[in-house]
Structures are given as C-alpha cells and as structure tokens.
Structure 1
Amino acid sequence: MSTTAYVEAQMLIRKPVEEVFEAFINPEVTTNFWFTKSTGKLEEGKIITWEWEMYGAKSDVKVNQIIPNQLIKTEWGEPSTQVDYEFKEMERGTLVVIKSYGFTQTGDDLAKIINDNTGGFTTVLDGCKAYLEHRIKLNLIEDKFPSK
C-alpha cells in the first residue's frame, strides 16, 4: 500500500534546457555530479543500472517515459518508488524539479525515507548546478557519508 506522501526538490540551473536535460540522461555528464557508473543512457522502456562505487551500492532504474527537454519518469530504489525529473525553460535558465513518490513505508520509516530522499535529491541538484554552471565537481555524493 503506497502513501500519498511525496518528496520534491528543485533548483534553477542557469543553462539551456537542452544542456540540463542531457545532464540527467547521459551518464558521461551525470557521473560528474551523481552516480559513478551506469550501464547506459536513459532511454524510454529500458532498465539501466546506476552504481555508487564508493558505497558498494547500485540500483536498477526503469525508464517509464521521456519527453525530451521536459520530463523523465523513472522507477527505482528498494522498495521501488516513482521518481520524476521535470525541466522547465525559464528566462534565466532551467528549473529542474525532482519528485519522488509511491512510498510504501509508514510511521518513522516513512519519515526517514522522506528525509533521505529530500536531502539526497537536493544534493544531486546542488552538484548538477555547480558542474553545469562552473564545471566544478564538488564530490557531494562521495563526501556525504565518508568512510574515513
């Protein structure tokens, strides 16, 4: 049973919508601010595996829908949730909104997953902004939970 709870994180990235959209579907770009490995570019109907080598973690990402320069709808995680990436062209750049929903947890477990998703997707957007606008790799994901 899924809840109506959801997570939403957003960020204005001062680059054209085509460049920002490409950053989320093309692992050659995405690996500069999010995961470390991918089995390929996001394509509608495909299942791609993302890997975070520093944590020994990976996730299969099912790509449900892609509308170029507007929307990427995916399903991933354990247990899986829906994650949508929306792109809106604005005067000063591109607004990226990440929405995560379809949580099955309840109570304290739901509060924890909402907190983790909010922080995680905010970190992704911060890293993406720094990389696309200034070509700076902040290593935010790698440094979030350092082992040593």
Structure 2
Amino acid sequence: MSSNIYVEAQMLIRKPIEDVFEAFINPEVTTNFWFTKSTGKLEEGKAVTWEWEMYGVKTNVTVHQIVKHQLIKTVWGEPSTNVDYEFKEMEKGTLVVIKSYGFYQEGEDLLKIINDNTGGFTTVLDGCKAYLEHGINLKLIEDKFPSK
C-alpha cells in the first residue's frame, strides 16, 4: 500500500517556459544536467530508459501524461514511484516543481527514500538552472557520489 507522503522540490529558472519544458523532454538537453543517456524524448504513452553511466545505473521511465509547457507525469524507479514535473510561467522565468509520491516503504526505509528524493531532485533543479541560465554543466550528478 502506498503512503500519502510526497516529496517536492522547486526552483525558479530564469528562462522562458518553452526552453525549460524542452530541457526535461529532450535528452539532448537533459543529459547536460541529469542522466547521461536516454533511449529517446519523453512522449505521452511511451517508455524510455535513462542511464547514469558513471554509476552503472539504468531506470525505465513511463510517461503517463504530457501537457505542453505545463506538466509531465511519469512513473519510474524500482519499486516504481510517481514523479510529476510541473511548469509555471512567472514574471522572471519558469517555476519548476518536481513532486515524487506513491512510496511503499515504511519507517527508516521511508525516511531514507524521502531524503534521497529530496536531495536528488534539488540537485537536478540546481543543475538545470546552471545549464539553462549560464550554459554551465556543473557535473552535480556525477560528483554527488564520487568513487574516488
């Protein structure tokens, strides 16, 4: 049974909503701040595989809904979790809100997954902001868990 708990991370990115939305749909952009490989663009009703080569990790991502420039609803991870990306046009740019929910863990395991999701999605948004606003790939995901 999944819990009613959700994780939320948000960031204002000082770019037009079209550019920010595209950054999450198009792996040619997303690979500059998040995963290193993808089997394709996000499309409603389709599944893709995202890969983080430096960690030897892959995950299947199923896209349930896309509302252009507003919302991307996905399910991914093991065990699977719902992850929604919301986009809101603001005076100074685009507010991106990432919500993760549908956790099945309990107790200490739930606390760990909440911590991992909060930190992970905050790092993604930080990397996205740096890349879209300044053209800098900070390698935040790669450097989060350095092997040596």
Judge same fold: TM > 0.5, yes or no.
yes
What CA deviation, in whole Å up to 9, does each residue of 1:118-147 have, x standing for no partner?
000000000000000000000000000000
Distance 1:6 1:112 in 2: 13
Letter of the 1:88 counterpart: K
TM-score calculated relative to the size of structure 2: 1.00
Q: Secondary structure of the equivalent of 2:15?
A: coil
Distance 2:78 2:112 in 1: 14
**1:24 aligned residue:** 24
**1:108 aligned residue:** 108
**1:36 aligned residue:** 36
Shift of 1:79: 0.3
When the two structures are aligned, how many residues end up with a matched partner? 148
Shift of 1:90: 0.3
Q: Secondary structure of the equivalent of 2:116?
A: helix
2:83 matched to 1:75? no
Distance 2:43 2:141 in 1: 24
TM-score calculated relative to the size of structure 1: 1.00
2:124 matched to 1:134? no
**2:15 aligned residue:** 15
What CA deviation, in whole Å up to 9, does each residue of 1:54-112 have, x standing for no partner?
00000000000000000000000010000000000000000000000000000000000
Q: Secondary structure of the equivalent of 1:141?
A: helix
Q: Percent identity?
A: 83
**2:57 aligned residue:** 57
**1:66 aligned residue:** 66
**2:91 aligned residue:** 91
Long gaps (5+) in structure 2: none
Distance 2:60 2:7 in 1: 20
Q: Secondary structure of the equivalent of 1:59?
A: strand
Distance 2:48 2:65 in 1: 13
Distance 2:56 2:13 in 1: 30
Distance 1:5 1:141 in 2: 25
What CA deviation, in whole Å up to 9, does each residue of 1:20-65 have, x standing for no partner?
0000000000000000000000000000000000000000000000
CA RMSD in angstroms, aligned pairs only: 0.2
Letter of the 2:95 counterpart: L
Letter of the 1:21 counterpart: F
